[in-house]
Structure 1
Amino acid sequence: MNYPNPMEERTDFTFILTRGMATVRIEIYTVGGRKIRELGPVEVSSGFNTVHWDGRDEEGDQPSNGVYFYRIAADWSDPESPGSEKELVEIEKLFICR
């Protein structure tokens, strides 16, 4: 979930992890499927977490008003334990209105 939504200048992505440490990546896409920004990877622990987005794309520009999608991926892989890959992905809508 992100707040505020609709956003003007910036937003925070908030989520709860129910177990251990994870590496989280948030990708933001246009409705046409073009990735405009990737946040992370960020190491987070179980409980309530927040990742801040300054509202800028990869070039540092403010995206146009409209609907976007964001994808949050949490990876619990243990590099020392082959076959332990576990990933949770969630996709939601984000509105930009300035």
Structure 2
Amino acid sequence: MIFASEHPAKKEFSVTISLEKALECKALSSEMVKHLNPGILSEEKPGSYYATIRFRNITYVIYGKYQEWASFFNMKKWRQAKPILGNRAFSTN
């Protein structure tokens, strides 16, 4: 007999990658376009900016400099303007 408490819990996977690497995956970058908000870039500061997004049961922690994220959000606006392309949390350190 096996009790529910004896079953191992599902493991949570977390991956930390650069914004540049994240953009190499079309599906992940599409999720980023849908869910990330440029509001965090209201003030430029030294260091990296971090975004956390859950995609395909994996938590991705994506990091990049201010200019990299600014370029991403400018690209995001361009993508949203093109209907043919279709289609979390954000913090700084």
Q: TM-score normalized by structure 2?
A: 0.32
Is the helix fraction higher in 1 or 2?
2
Write 1 or 2 for the structure with the bigger share of strand.
Answer: 1
Asked which structure has the greater CA Rg, the reply is 2
